[in-house]
Structure 1
Amino acid sequence: MSSTLNIRHLGLVDYHQTYEAMQRFTDQRTSDTADEIWLLEHPPVFTQGRAGKEEHLLTMSDIPVVQSDRGGQVTYHGPGQLTAYVLIDVKRRASGVRDLVTTIEQAIVRLLADFDIDASAKADAPGVYVQDDKIASLGLRIRKGCSFHGLALNIDMDMTPFLQINPCGYSGLKMIQMSDFCTELPSVDEVGSQLAEKFIQLLNYQQVEHYQGLPVEVYNDV
């Protein structure tokens, strides 16, 4: 079993480009391919999961709405939010999807604890919450026993687009961010690196490599 994790720092990147790259990476990977986590931000975009219902998009605006094959309903991505795509061979690790979801949630909870934010997961609603308010969303897709898509952690962003939707399909759900609790925060990429460290600890990776940009095998195609 590969014990290597590649961490890619992508910066601000287009959703379509990254979505297509995730699919290509997953389709091309083999049993020897190292797991990866992609840390990034997206320009403003609403994404609708496979089970997404139009009724949860409350108003239209100039923010595009993109259909996605991840799980879940509608959510919003924008600058100031950390998006982490978790590209893990779940089958190779001999763990289940529920175990991976729990690991992602616990990584976020541990990260937030470092900032004195008391957060937790809920058994019946994927994501991470501070009491009943949601600070991080989660949606995965499994293909060939491997995961892609991942999580979105609100750090310091314009939250008003969330008012245009029922976040994750829940009417009245309040979305919050780290800046509601912290007056000083590191950059999105720095928070992403700290989150990746939590994954390394929880999943017991022995070797970690850091990269800038997409993998070579998908870069020329997107």
Structure 2
Amino acid sequence: MNSHPLPFCLFYQGGIWPYTEAWEQQRQLVEARLQDEQLSDVLLLLEHFPVYTLGTGSKLDFVKFSPEAADVELHRTERGGEVTYHCPGQLVGYPILNLRRHQQDLHWYLRQLEEVLIRLLAGYGLKGERIPGLTGVWVEGHKVAAIGIKVKRWITMHGFALNVCPDLTGFKRIVPCGIGDRPVGSLQQFLPDISLAQVREELPKIFGEVFQLEMIAQQNLLGEASGNPK
């Protein structure tokens, strides 16, 4: 039996955040860990006001509206992947992990993020599936979770977006993740009574199991850059 305590991961349950604020918060957390690799891992769980984001090499061909005349925010970010959409009812997870403590393997990391979501869905009796050659999680052919990451000197940022109970109409204005032949879905389609509060409560525990981390809840973000639980 392993008597060593698990490394800890601070997690913060936020409400609905402007995308740019969450983006800046991630950058600060990453920068702190580039300066001091001993700082703890962090997981932010948030929602966003309606916003479209592009990966670093995303094609504007997948955006069906004019960015110059858009009535909603559009940001090109440093993550991988194509265009996606965030809005309330979608749970967005931003893990700030030092992969030197886990595995220095980006494919492993992507599969682990998928595993967190697949285990979460299994708890609701849903079979989450991977599709070879693609990143994300599907249920009955509907993409319910998108993943896009950035890793700098093995410190991660960006992460996953799980459609729990969002208004999906915003996805009609893009080709989500550049995949035109597979529909976007939500957990609510399959589980009409599911709530975001349920998923928020259960996800950190599963995240800790998959990544072998002790999850420590934070009431606010103060102290997280220093890596000390508050």
CA distance in 2 between partners of 1:216 and 1:31 (Å) = 16
Which aligned pairs between 1:105-124 and structure 2 lie closer than 5 A? 105-124=114-133
Alignment of 1:23 with 2:32, yes or no, is: no
CA distance in 1 between partners of 2:7 and 2:176 (Å) = 35
Amino acid of the residue matched to residue 204 of structure 2? Answer: A
Find the counterpart in structure 2 of residue 161 from structure 1. 170
CA distance in 1 between partners of 2:8 and 2:197 (Å) = 21
Find the counterpart in structure 1 of residue 95 from structure 2. 86
Find the counterpart in structure 1 of residue 181 from structure 2. 172
CA distance in 1 between partners of 2:197 and 2:9 (Å) = 17
CA distance in 2 between partners of 1:44 and 1:175 (Å) = 16
Amino acid of the residue matched to residue 184 of structure 1? Answer: D
The alpha-carbon deviation at position 217 of structure 1 amounts to 6.3
Find the counterpart in structure 2 of residue 197 from structure 1. 205
Q: Is the 8 A contact 2:103 2:109 kept in 1?
A: no
Alignment of 1:147 with 2:156, yes or no, is: yes
Q: How many residues align?
A: 217
CA distance in 2 between partners of 1:121 and 1:195 (Å) = 19
1:104 to 113, 135, 148: 113
Structure 1 residues 129-159: Cα deviation after superposition (integer angstroms, max 9, x where no partner) = 1133201000000012111100000011110
Structure 1 residues 143-202: Cα deviation after superposition (integer angstroms, max 9, x where no partner) = 12111100000011110010000000112331000000112113x243123111111111
2:142 to 133, 150, 159: 133
CA distance in 2 between partners of 1:87 and 1:217 (Å) = 11
Amino acid of the residue matched to residue 12 of structure 1? Answer: I
**Matched residue SS, 1:123:** coil
**Matched residue SS, 1:106:** helix
Alignment of 1:214 with 2:214, yes or no, is: no
Q: Is the 8 A contact 1:31 1:92 kept in 2?
A: no
CA distance in 2 between partners of 1:16 and 1:189 (Å) = 23
CA distance in 2 between partners of 1:148 and 1:75 (Å) = 16
Amino acid of the residue matched to residue 102 of structure 1? Answer: R
Find the counterpart in structure 2 of residue 37 from structure 1. 43
Alignment of 1:10 with 2:14, yes or no, is: yes
Gaps of 5+ in 2: 226-230
Amino acid of the residue matched to residue 155 of structure 1? Answer: V
Q: Is the 8 A contact 2:80 2:150 kept in 1?
A: yes
CA distance in 2 between partners of 1:79 and 1:59 (Å) = 21
CA distance in 2 between partners of 1:13 and 1:189 (Å) = 16
The alpha-carbon deviation at position 100 of structure 1 amounts to 1.1
Cα distance change of structure 1 residues 215 and 99 upon mapping to structure 2, 3 Å threshold: farther
The alpha-carbon deviation at position 212 of structure 1 amounts to 2.7
Which aligned pairs between 1:183-194 and structure 2 lie closer than 5 A? 183-186=192-195, 188-194=196-202
Alignment of 1:69 with 2:84, yes or no, is: no
Find the counterpart in structure 1 of residue 62 from structure 2. 56
**Matched residue SS, 2:170:** helix
TM-score by length of structure 1 reads: 0.92
The alpha-carbon deviation at position 92 of structure 1 amounts to 2.5
The alpha-carbon deviation at position 2 of structure 1 amounts to 7.0
CA distance in 2 between partners of 1:190 and 1:69 (Å) = 31
Gaps of 5+ in 1: none
Q: Is the 8 A contact 1:166 1:173 kept in 2?
A: no
Q: Runs in 1 of length 4+ with deviation above 3 angstroms? A: 215-218
